[in-house]
Structure 1
Amino acid sequence: MTLQTLYLIGFMVLVGAIIGGLTNSLAIKMLFRPYREIKLGSWRVPFTPGLIPKRHEELAGQLGKMVVDYLITAEGLGKKLKNPVFTDGMTKWLRIEVEKILKSEKSAANLIEESIGLKQPKQIALAKTEELVQKSMSTFLTNNREKTLEQVLPETLLRKVDETLEPATTYILERGQAFIGSAEGKEKLSVMIDRFLIQKGTFGNMISMFLGNDRLVDKVQPELLRFLQDSGTKKLVFQLLEQEWVKVKQKQLKEVEEYLNEEELVSAIVRGLESNVAIFQWIDQPMKQWSGTYQETIMNTYIPKGVEVILDLLSSHLEELLKRFHLDEIVSEQVKGFSVERLEELVLSISKREFKMITYLGALLGGIIGFIQSLIVGIIG
């Protein structure tokens, strides 16, 4: 083999390698470039724009479909949500965040204002409570005006009043005895007797003259005390209270309604709720001041159970949620929003090494083809 033949082989190998490498490099660049269509007059230059700029919208749509159909699926997300590692991580994170809140110097009202921008939450809660009580009371009165109190009032309340009649009878008689037996009671009784005798005119004066007022009081007071202590009196008072209670129960609600001031009643109920429902006191106190009692229960019971319930709920509705999110449209819109330069940068950052290897492979193949061609030329020559 002559030196000239070696030069020819080397030259053709070099030319083939350069052509192969440049061709592959150009093909890779033509995926993205030119970025825009080039026209000479009304004639569009072939292969402009590049493949990806030309198919930008189609690529965006296909990427969105691929993400929904193959990458982010309900089945895949469901498995992830039920994974013990994920569940434990979520529980641990939530415990840390909740602990910060429970040990905060800020009140619940402050935290609500800061997190969702709701001003004066306690006042809003009270206003909503008043509105609810007002609405409930109006509905109740409208639906039950023709009913008796016995039909309307709770059975437990009716039974409680029935049980209270006897103690009430005893209380009334004992208070009456205490009053009549006191110095004040005796004085009042004396005044009443005196007034009674005056009203009787001459007959009263005669009684007063013969007996004397003080003597009459001394006689009446013990008799009244004996009357109040008598078992028959107790039975009589009990029967009277019972009869009156029966009459009250038979009254229709509309008869009682006229004695009610609905606005004052609603206001009283709301004030009672504010004073007795703990949340209305807690909302203005620092969280750490009252949350300590409940911290262990919240951390060890409510949070794990809450995470379990939420993840189960999400898992069972993932398919519907993904449909409502329109994830394919979101991905498609995001990709459409990318500039072609950005897409090129993104793809090259991931596959730069592979693209270089393709270029080198083209040069290698070009070199091999050049070598074969040089052999053919040598044989023919």
Structure 2
Amino acid sequence: MNLIGMLLFMAVIGAVIGGVTNHLAIKMLFRPLKPIYLWGKRLPFTPGLIPKRREDLAIQLGRTVVDHLLTAEGIRSKFKEPAFIKDMEAWAKSEVSVVLNSQKTLSEWLEGFGVSEAEEKLKEKLNAFIEARYEDLLGQARSKTLGETLPEELLLKIDSKIPDFSAYILNKGISYFESSEGRVRLSMMIQDFLENLGSLGNMVQMFISNDTIVNSVQPELIKFLSHEGTQNMLTQLLDQEWDKVKGWEVGTLEEKVGREQLLSFLKTQINEQIPYRNWLQSSIEELSKSYHELILETLIPKAVSMVSDFIDNRIEEMMQRLHLSEIVRKQVEAFPVERLEVIILSISSREFKMITYLGALLGGLIGIVQGLIVYFVG
């Protein structure tokens, strides 16, 4: 009984020592968090292993992530996977469809990006662009003639249109003088002419009425305007005047018309031709309706492919600029050790208990062996 009692006693003592030692060793992985000083000297094994080596652990984790886990080749292969590309296209189409089907006006949409009073700003930008282009175009052309400045195709087109223009003028003249308004105007002109003749005009009016004169002059005037020679003469006159205009310097023409008048005319015409006011007041859906299929079925797949190729060609540079190892290091250093302890213990609590039990078992066995040695030696 003495042997058995001693062995049991030694086994219990060994088991307690082994279990407590292993349990304490597990705790010392995380505790204490800070070094403990006694009489000015730091106690051994303080702080715990992980708090003490957290900086080294952070550096090594950062290197491990960049060198072995989140590698450029791994990211590149992911972006080349057909399934991933398909998912990216589906996601992009979903997000873009929300925008394309939006009932917000373009003006409201721009306000969401901080662009208020878009119409006024767009008008200011457009007018500023017109002024800048006006100065760019006329700055070097002011000393040149109009014929040297205008495109040859435009000059030839104007030359070819002069006969049509003269015919248009004459036809308008004929239509006018054939109308009642034209007849009244012709009568007034004849009346003014006769009055300017003085007594001779009065004498003519005594013998011939104004209506008679109009009835005689109107057909002849229309006949004159309809004559081919009249059109040729007018065409020749217009050609001569056009040749003179082509010889004007651009600066001279600008002075005759006025710079501000030219700019005002250009701004008015261009602002009227570009319907940006209607665009701003229209919904995104209305503006993009004609392009939905093009955007969703053509542009988005191309954009995803371009992004994939861009990442494929730039991934190493992007990762270098991101400094991933530095990010991991900072995150690990900032991560609370207490939280890390909770996570590890929650995952491995069963294993840690088994280690504690194993320590107790080994301690108990060692105690029994020691008891036997003491018994037989003693």
TM-score, normalising length: structure 1: 0.84
1:110 aligns with 2:108: yes
Q: Which amino acid aligns with 1:52?
A: I
Which position in structure 1 is the counterpart of 2:294? 297
Which position in structure 2 is the counterpart of 1:25? 23
1:136 aligns with 2:133: yes
Which position in structure 2 is the counterpart of 1:271? 271
Taking a change above 3 Å as real, the CA distance of residues 320 and 257 of structure 1, as seen in their structure-2 partners, is: farther
Taking a change above 3 Å as real, the CA distance of residues 324 and 158 of structure 1, as seen in their structure-2 partners, is: farther
1:192 aligns with 2:189: yes
Gaps of 5+ in 1: none
Q: Which amino acid aligns with 2:95?
A: E
What is the CA deviation profile of residues 115-136 of structure 1, one whole-angstrom value per residue up to 9, with x for unaligned ones?
A: x343344443333333333333
Paired residue secondary structure (1:36): coil
Gaps of 5+ in 2: none
Q: Indicate conservation of the 8 Å contact 1:126/1:270, yes or no.
A: no
Taking a change above 3 Å as real, the CA distance of residues 75 and 289 of structure 1, as seen in their structure-2 partners, is: same
TM-score, normalising length: structure 2: 0.84
In structure 2, which of residues 79, 84, 87 is the aligned counterpart of residue 86 of structure 1? 84
Taking a change above 3 Å as real, the CA distance of residues 368 and 157 of structure 1, as seen in their structure-2 partners, is: farther
Taking a change above 3 Å as real, the CA distance of residues 51 and 74 of structure 1, as seen in their structure-2 partners, is: same
Which position in structure 1 is the counterpart of 2:168? 171
Shift of 1:197: 3.2
Which position in structure 1 is the counterpart of 2:213? 216
* Bigger mean CA offset, 152-161 vs 99-108: 152-161
In structure 1, which of residues 57, 60, 74 is the aligned counterpart of residue 58 of structure 2? 60
* Bigger mean CA offset, 231-240 vs 246-255: 246-255
Cα distance in 2 for partners of 1:79, 1:377 equals: 67
What is the CA deviation profile of residues 282-311 of structure 1, one whole-angstrom value per residue up to 9, with x for unaligned ones?
A: 432333444433323322222222222223
Shift of 1:188: 1.8
Q: Which amino acid aligns with 2:242?
A: W
What is the CA deviation profile of residues 87-145 of structure 1, one whole-angstrom value per residue up to 9, with x for unaligned ones?
A: 1112212222222333333223333434x343344443333333333333333333433
Taking a change above 3 Å as real, the CA distance of residues 29 and 121 of structure 1, as seen in their structure-2 partners, is: farther
Paired residue secondary structure (2:281): coil
Cα distance in 2 for partners of 1:354, 1:270 equals: 80
In structure 1, which of residues 244, 249, 252 is the aligned counterpart of residue 249 of structure 2? 252
Which position in structure 1 is the counterpart of 2:232? 235
Q: Indicate conservation of the 8 Å contact 2:106/2:284, yes or no.
A: yes
Cα distance in 2 for partners of 1:10, 1:213 equals: 154
Q: Indicate conservation of the 8 Å contact 1:165/1:241, yes or no.
A: yes
Cα distance in 2 for partners of 1:372, 1:250 equals: 124
Taking a change above 3 Å as real, the CA distance of residues 177 and 16 of structure 1, as seen in their structure-2 partners, is: same
Which position in structure 2 is the counterpart of 1:341? 338
Shift of 1:32: 1.7
Shift of 1:175: 0.4
Which position in structure 1 is the counterpart of 2:281? 284
Which position in structure 1 is the counterpart of 2:99? 101
Shift of 1:173: 1.0
Cα distance in 1 for partners of 2:12, 2:75 equals: 54
Paired residue secondary structure (2:317): helix
Q: Which amino acid aligns with 1:142?
A: G
* Bigger mean CA offset, 162-171 vs 29-38: 162-171
